[in-house]
Structure 1
Amino acid sequence: METVPVTLRYDSRDPFAVRMDFPAPATLEDSEITWAFGRELLAAGVSAPSGVGDVRVRPYGYDLTAVEFHAPQGVAVVHLRTGELRRFLRRAHGAVPWGREHRYLNLDHGLSELLRNGR
């Protein structure tokens, strides 16, 4: 098993999602890749298996959480220390409390972008 440094990020401008950045050496394309998935999925997966699609999260042994990324090319599994993941989720909650994500959405900007790209 190879150790790959990944970066987990949260941005209140996209309050429902978290992002995990993979460095170029860890990808088949040899370029940085970012996977975005639900913050709620990540939080649920700390204590019980969660997800049925491209991203699945589950407890793994003592103080580890496994995040699985399913793609046509195969499956990548990232193990995160559960304690560190819980701290990350607490900080994300401090930025945008659970259930209040809708208050942080900029719907006007999103609609403008959608209409601009549709031309």
Structure 2
Amino acid sequence: MRSAVVEQAVHARLILSSHCSTQLRVTLRYRAADPLAVRMAFPAEYSLDTAAPLDEPTEPAPGAEVVWVFARQLLASGLDLPSGLGDVHIRPSRGPHTMVELRAPEGVALLRFEAGDLRRFLWASYRCVPEGQEGRHLDADRALAELLG
């Protein structure tokens, strides 16, 4: 039986400037119950949210993370061609890398991933729900209930 959830931890470089970057751990998630979407979860300390004044740092809640949700098809397309029109843009880069740009009102984050890591995750998601078969896993009533709160 196929797993209903795919989760893979990978490393990424958060590009801070042309000469400065930092490595962070990102968790990639895919759920058969939400077959059109993938999730990228980042440690809370990388949030751009400025809820607290800068002179009063707060510790993130244990286990808290920042999660970006976007189309699985965007990830697939972005591995080979520049893709994305909204808050998430994905494009191949020099060498074995893929760039992911996340845009929010608070700022922009540019991340460099090993393309192989993203491809392995994508292939695992296709083993869970084959490409083109997403409609068989959609629960329209549940999705509508979640949307309407």
Q: One fold, TM greater than 0.5? A: yes
Q: In the alignment, which residue of structure 1 is the partner of 2:143? A: 110
Q: Structure 1: which 4+ aligned runs deviate by more than 2 Å?
A: 28-31, 108-115
What residue in structure 1 maps to residue 119 of structure 2? 86
The equivalent of 1:21 in structure 2 is: 41
Unaligned runs of 5+ in 1: none
Aligned to 1:60, which of 80, 83, 93?
Answer: 93
Displacement of 1:68: 0.5
More strand by share: 2
1:4 aligns with 2:24: yes
**Aligned-residue RMSD, C-alpha:** 1.5
**Equivalent residues, number:** 116
Write the letter of the residue equivalent to 2:112. H
> Higher relative contact order at CA 8 Å, sep ≥6: structure 1 or structure 2?
2
Q: 1:83 to 1:114 in 2, by over 3 A?
A: closer
> Structure 1: which amino acid aligns with 2:95?
Y
- Give the TM-score, by structure 2 length: 0.72
Is the Cα–Cα contact under 8 Å of residues 48 and 107 in structure 2 kept in the other structure? no
1:27-50 deviations in Å (ceiling 9; x for gaps): 134552100000000000001100
Identity, % of aligned positions: 48
Q: Tell me the equivalent position of 1:45.
A: 78
Cα deviation, 1:45-91, whole Å, max 9, x if unaligned, reads 00110011100000011111111101111110121111111111111
Q: Rg: which structure is higher?
A: 2
Aligned-partner Cα distance in 2 for 1:81–1:42: 13
